[in-house]
Amino acid sequence: MPSIVNTSRVAIVGLGQLGTSLALRLKELGAREVLAVSRRDDSLRTAVERGVIDAGSTEAADILPVVDVVFLCLPLTATLSFVQEQLPHFRFGGLVTDVGSVKGAIVRGVRPLLQQHGTWFVGSHPMAGSEKSGMECGRADLYQNAVVFLTPTPEDEPDAIELLATFWREIGAMPIELDADRHDLACAHSSHLAHLVAAALVRAVLGQGDVTANQQACAGGFRDVSRIAASNTDMWTDICRHNRPALQQALAAFQQELTAAGQALDAQDWPAVAAFLASAKAQRDDWFTGYAKARGTPA
């Protein structure tokens, strides 16, 4: 079977960490042609010079009509406005996806427009990326063994879904289909809540009280707990905004757990504190064993 990556012309819209990593990997796999759209001419020039992409333009109209597959690698709000503004230029019969962390708002905002235009849209969300951002942080192996959620609707064409899944598999990722709203609730817990919690922890430790002593007392544990608090602020505000109800639900679940821990502490109920910590350890150990195994990394 011919490789889909090698026979497709691909456009990447946005050359941040995710878009750049995708381009690097597609070039590594010998993709037929990797084009890019970016607002910044200097980013495009740098990307071409480094062989990250074959060519690019600041004008979507130059690129979108001539490609088979479009990956929208923009922040959420920018993804919504890009599709609205550039709709006439998407190719009839082409396939469009995105890499956004929230899928309900994207699928509801983007899919009907593209469908009416005769272009397929299926949302993607690769569970990849770091607290860093920008082209400099792109890595060809960013998606290797990463889960990529695909969030098709029941009305989507099975062929379009399968094409997209195959694409991600060739890239090295693990596509998993999930309903968009169920996805958003899951990511609200495992990712968006985690970012909010990390930020609140940093502010409680480094933003008030005996900051000098607290800074000295921060070591490897704090370093890892707080890493994602260093993420791009605008991007994460955007995510909170587009996934608010799910994030509120996750936050309530977390506050309930924290209250339980605080009550056990207040009551000096040490068996209850031990049980609280032990169940968390068991759940985390269980999850991590599977996570590490799927990625071929040591547990």
Minimum distance between the CB of residue 47 and its own copies, rounded to whole angstroms? 24
Show the beta-strand stretches assigned E in the chain: 9-13, 33-37, 55-57, 69-72, 95-98, 120-121, 124-126, 147-150, 174-177
Q: What is d(CA 131, CA 273) in angstroms, rounded to the nearest whole number?
A: 32
- Kindly state the smallest distance separating residue 41's Cβ from its own copies, in Å: 28
Nearest CB to its own copies, comparing residues 61 and 287: 287
Q: Are 94 and 69 spatial neighbours (Cβ–Cβ below 8 Å)?
A: yes
Strands (E), 73-151: 95-98, 120-121, 124-126, 147-150
- To its own copies, the closest distance from the beta carbon of 247 in angstroms equals 7
**44 in Cβ contact with 38 (< 8 Å):** yes
Query: Looking at beta carbons only, is 7 or 283 nearer to its own copies?
Result: 283
| Residue with smaller CB distance to its own copies, 31 or 199 | 199
Instruction: Give DSSP secondary structure letters for 8-68.
Output: -EEEEE--SHHHHHHHHHHHHTT-SEEEEE-S-HHHHHHHHHTTS-SEEES-HHHHGGG-S
Residue closer to its own copies (CB basis): 66 or 277: 277
Tell the smallest beta-carbon distance from residue 146 to its own copies (Å): 7
87/240 with CB nearer its own copies: 240
In the bound complex, what is the minimum distance in angstroms from residue 292's beta carbon to its own copies?
Answer: 9
